[in-house]
Amino acid sequence: MILILVLALAVQIFAQDETQFIYNGFQGSLNKLQVDGIATILPNGLLRMSNHTPASLSHAFYPHPVIFKPNHLSFSTTFVFAMFPQVQNISGHGIVFVISPTTNFQHTLPAAYLGLFNTSTNGRSSNHIVAVELDTVKNPDVEDIDGNHVGIDVNSLISVDAASAAYYSDKERSNKTLLLNSGKPMQIWIDYDEVEMLLNVTLAPFRDPKPSKCLLSKHLDLSAILLHSMHVGFTSSTGLLSNRHYILGWSWNQSGKAEDLDTSKLPSLPQDKHQKQILNKLIFPVLLFVVLLLLLMIAAAVWVLWRKKYEELVEPWEKEYTTHRYTFKDLHVATKGFKKSELLGIGGFGKVYKGKLPSISHQVAVKRVSHDSKQGMKEFVAEISCMRRLSHRNLVPLLGYCRRKGELLLVYEYMPNRSLDKHLFGKDDEPNLCWSKRYNIIKGVASALLYLHEEWEQVVLHRDVKASNVLLDAEMNAKLGDFGLARLYDHTIDPQTTHVVGTIGYIAPEVSRTQKPTTSSDVYAFGMFLLEVGCGRRPMGKQTDDVAEDFLSDWVYDCWRRGEILMASDPAVEGDYQENEMELVLKLGLLCLHPKSEERPTMRQAVQFLNGSATLPEIPSDYETVSGIFFGEVLGKSVSFPSYPPSSGTISHGDMSSTNSVLQYGR
């Protein structure tokens, strides 16, 4: 029993002789540090030596004394600390590692005195104090070398050796400075060898291995300074300006090298308010900037897309036509984005949409003509400009145009009753037209063509007269539309495959040969139009079950030759029509369809016949229907036609000598 007691005592003595401990954080009640002043151990185990209280001091000591036997003064210690300045780079004093005979520092002073001494005790050999200061203020009174240094103090604030905070980087083989009050944790090693009498101080950033070279290595004989029983710990002081001082972990050994701290167990530092401020000051604007930049980019992308969507083609020469020009955006909005529901029809040249422009009280029809070639566009736009000036009550008013890449948009007045062919050939979807209205329409179209051919300042060829190009307004008045569009296609001809523009059945035979449209080729088409209206039939295709003719003109001609031309009249107006008017229309139709252009009446004559102001001549005895000639001269050269009605009205064939402008025949 006594033996055990003696042994236990011996162990204790041994333990007391050669104290060794390690704090990976200061939590727990075992060997709780003895603190005073404003020092406190935070719940996470962090030892806070000072907050931002100015002119404060604090101490934290290992609770038991350590014994330096006269013949065993060696020690090794290391700790991790961090100092946060209140204002960047301006800070209040520092942390000191101290070996002291007492833990009573009641009469010591803060600030430059570092909580170690007062004015009278500073420098006294009776102090028996060995300290390593981490000083962030340059105090000339105590011969500080700078405001960021590590110093070895013996009994006095005037360091026996000091160096600017730095460490030797083994990796880079060079000294690197450290900023003590940067808020970054750092580790310091203090080693004393009593044989060599060397006190080494080594500094490094936290988590770096201990550098091979120390910052300070001072020859010191501590035998007269270190007493038998001493206390080890830290002091911290702040001045006018203050730092927050923290110690994260500490290890002490008198029997060998201080054990390495377990970095994973060390408490974490509180987030620095100042850093938060920096974060707010920096991150927030950066974030804002990034967000703004992103928004800007999105806006730019939207703008680019928007631009692309409404992109138009404007060339310098178009300046003079700007008054007739609509923006694509307006047309896009007017037609609800060219919505299917607004589609009025698909013509030979493109789709037609209904629209409502804010600048015009009434509705418009917008025709989208796809047109890839730039060629001829200038002339065409010039003609549009001319056509805008065309003003006749039987012409669809052209309001203006818009041009995009590969596309031309023409804006016309909207005709609520659509095209005539819908009424003539429509399958019950439009009410049938009575004869008086039909006759009125015929006279209207004749009058419009007369205007184009003879009454305007220039000769304008329509080139595509047919029932589907005759539109009807609210009062069922005829309005001839689409004039001159054929012209656009003249310019885009590929020399290899030339086109004759127009609609099969309406193309005068000589145009097929010469490709030269004339007023009399318009008359030819008008003749076909007359038969269409009178007979209620299309120019080509099976006419009736009992009549085998494929060509309307042949059929009407046959009826005439048999002396019963009224047999050809539309059964839908049977009993409704005036016989003399019907006969006039059918006969005039045949005359206009004369294969020889010079034999056809002019539009002026046609109008006179229709008005009754001139008498229609008899159909000549040598009259031959066109189809025979047509077949003989054109189809004979192995050109095949699709059966009527073809979806697209253009045919192509044969060599081409020249192209003519609609407005070529200026007067």
Annotated binding site: 367
Closest approach of Cβ 137 to ligand NAG, in Å? 13
Q: Interface with ligand NAG includes 174 (CB under 6 A)? A: yes
Instruction: Report d(CA 186, CA 177) in Å as an integer.
Output: 12
Could you list the active site residues?
464
Identify the H or E element spanning 573: none
* Distance in angstroms between the alpha carbons of the first and the last residue of the chain: 144
CA nearest to 199, candidates 74, 32, 362, 29? 74
Closest approach of Cβ 219 to ligand NAG, in Å? 10
Interface residue with ligand NAG among 55, 179, 220, 313 (CB under 6 A) is 179
Taking residues 206 to 245 in sequence order and writing x for each that binds ligand NAG by CB under 6 A, - otherwise, the string is --------xx-x----------------------------
Instruction: Find the residue with minimal CB distance to ligand NAG.
Output: 256
Would you mind telling me the total number of residues written for the chain in this entry?
667
Residues 285 to 314: which contact ligand NAG by CB under 6 A?
none
Which residues make up each annotated binding site for ATP? 367
Closest approach of Cβ 56 to ligand NAG, in Å? 17
Which of 143, 574 has the CB closer to ligand NAG?
143
Q: Interface with ligand NAG includes 107 (CB under 6 A)? A: yes
DSSP state of 596: S
Instruction: Report d(CA 592, CA 234) in Å as an integer.
Output: 121
Identify the H or E element spanning 66: strand 66-67
Closest approach of Cβ 293 to ligand NAG, in Å? 27
Which of 191, 549 has the CB closer to ligand NAG?
191
Report residue 235: phi and psi, to 5°: -125, 155
Which of 193, 315 has the CB closer to ligand NAG?
193
Binding piece for ligand NAG, criterion CB under 6 A, among 251-259, 278-286, 526-534, 574-582: 251-259
Which of 255, 578 has the CB closer to ligand NAG?
255
Binding piece for ligand NAG, criterion CB under 6 A, among 115-123, 270-278, 473-481, 601-609: 115-123
Q: Interface with ligand NAG includes 121 (CB under 6 A)? A: yes
Instruction: Report d(CA 339, CA 363) in Å as an integer.
Output: 15
- Cα 477-480-482 angle, rounded to 5 deg: 145
Which of 198, 566 has the CB closer to ligand NAG?
198
Instruction: Report d(CA 373, CA 492) in Å as an integer.
Output: 6
Q: Interface with ligand NAG includes 259 (CB under 6 A)? A: yes
Q: Which residues make Cβ contacts (< 8 Å) with residue 103, sequence separation at least 6?
A: 34, 36, 59, 61, 231, 233
Q: Residue 14 burial by CB count (10 A; 0-12/13-18/19+): exposed, middle or buried?
A: exposed
Q: Interface with ligand NAG includes 255 (CB under 6 A)? A: yes
Interface residue with ligand NAG among 100, 253, 468, 605 (CB under 6 A) is 253
Residues 16 to 35: which contact ligand NAG by CB under 6 A?
20-22
Closest approach of Cβ 257 to ligand NAG, in Å? 5
> How, if at all, do strands 75-85 and 243-253 pair?
antiparallel
CA atoms 40, 45, 50, 53: torsion sign: negative
Interface residue with ligand NAG among 31, 89, 327, 611 (CB under 6 A) is 89
* Burial track 234-263 (b if 16+ CB lie within 10 A, e otherwise): bbbbbbebbbbbbbbbbbbbbeeebeebee
Q: Interface with ligand NAG includes 119 (CB under 6 A)? A: yes
Q: What tokens were used for 134?
A: 């981490």
Closest approach of Cβ 76 to ligand NAG, in Å? 7
- Which residue spans within 414-473 are E strands per DSSP? 470-472
Residues 191 to 210: which contact ligand NAG by CB under 6 A?
191, 193, 196, 198, 200
User: SS3 of 662, please?
Assistant: coil
Interface residue with ligand NAG among 29, 43, 71, 120 (CB under 6 A) is 120
Q: How many CB atoms lie within 10 A of CB 535?
A: 26
Would you tell me which residues interact with ligand NAG (CB under 6 A)? 20-22, 88-89, 107, 118-121, 163, 168, 174-175, 179, 191, 193, 196, 198, 200, 214-215, 217, 251, 253, 255-259
